[in-house]
Amino acid sequence: EDFKHLTNEANQISNQESAHRLFYLALPPSVYGSVSELISKHCRPKSPGWMRLIVEKPFGKDLESSNKLSEHLNKFYTEEEIYRIDHYLGKEMVQNIIVLRFSNQILSRVWNRDSIAAVNIIFKEDIGTQGRGGYFDEFGIIRDVIQNHLMQILSIVAMEKPRSTKGEDIRDEKVKVLRIININD
């Protein structure tokens, strides 16, 4: 019922039933499935409007739960309608690393695997888990910070220059980095 009400409100605001709609799910991952299904069933705009669903990580607890969630979303959305994001990449300094690396003529000549022997990434946070205890109990700080944020930083710092600034080209270069990482046991 609430999702029908949401659609009515959106239609009134936009003055049309075919307006584009974007939904950003910054919710506990345990409700992504049910909420995304209800949004698709009740809030989808009429043609020619499009709909996008942004799902903030963590996207499942592990590969199995991530795949299950993807399968569930694909019942209601095309892959082009789904955006899986890490909010950390939206931080201004993180976004500026790519620009700094590849637009600066001095840095771009020396910031490469031939000139840099090692990179240390230090994560320091003053605020603790304030209000996030339940989240960290379920997903853990390792999964949240290291597996997501710090690996993203590493891939941005270590990647080769992408063919273009298109998301796919940047993603492809980041994947190359992640594939060659040697993890010591």
- Which of 85, 104, 128 represents a domain boundary (last residue)? 85
The domain spanning residue 78 has which CATH number?
3.40.50.720
Give the per-residue pLDDT at 174.
92
- Output phi, psi for 125, to 5 deg: -130, 130
Instruction: Note down the domain range covering 156.
Output: 88-180
Give the integer Cα–Cα distance in Å for 68 and 97: 33
pLDDT of residue 140: 59
* Active-site position among 5, 20, 42, 149: 149
Q: Is residue 29 part of a domain?
A: yes
Indicate whether 147 and 71 sit together in one domain. Answer: no
- Look at residues 70, 85, 100 and tell me which one is the last residue of a structural domain: 85
- Mark whether 80 and 95 lie in a shared domain: no
Q: Which of 38, 65, 85 is the last residue of a domain?
A: 85
Co-location of 72 and 95 in the same domain: no
Q: Is residue 123 part of a domain?
A: yes
- Give tens-digit pLDDT for 108-160: 889 988 888 888 888 776 665 565 556 555 655 666 666 677 888 899 999 99
Residue 28: CB partners within 8 Å, gap ≥ 6? 135
The pLDDT value recorded for residue 175 is: 94
- 72 part of the active site: no
Phi, psi torsion values for 22, nearest 5 degrees: -125, 125
Do 79 and 108 sit in the same domain of this protein?
Answer: no
End-to-end CA distance of the chain: 51
Residue 138: alpha-carbon gap to chain centroid: 19
Identify the residue whose tokens are 């345990």.
30
- Is 31 part of a structural domain of the chain? yes
pTM of the model: 0.61
How many distinct structural domains can be found in the chain? 2
Indicate if 92 and 176 belong to the same structural domain. yes
In tens digits, the chain (185 residues) has pLDDT values of: 788 888 888 877 777 767 788 999 878 778 888 999 999 998 888 777 899 999 877 777 778 888 999 999 999 999 999 988 776 676 777 778 888 888 888 888 899 888 888 888 887 766 655 655 565 556 556 666 666 778 888 999 999 999 998 889 999 999 999 998 877 75
Q: Which of 92, 80, 82, 17 is nearest to 56 (CA)?
A: 82
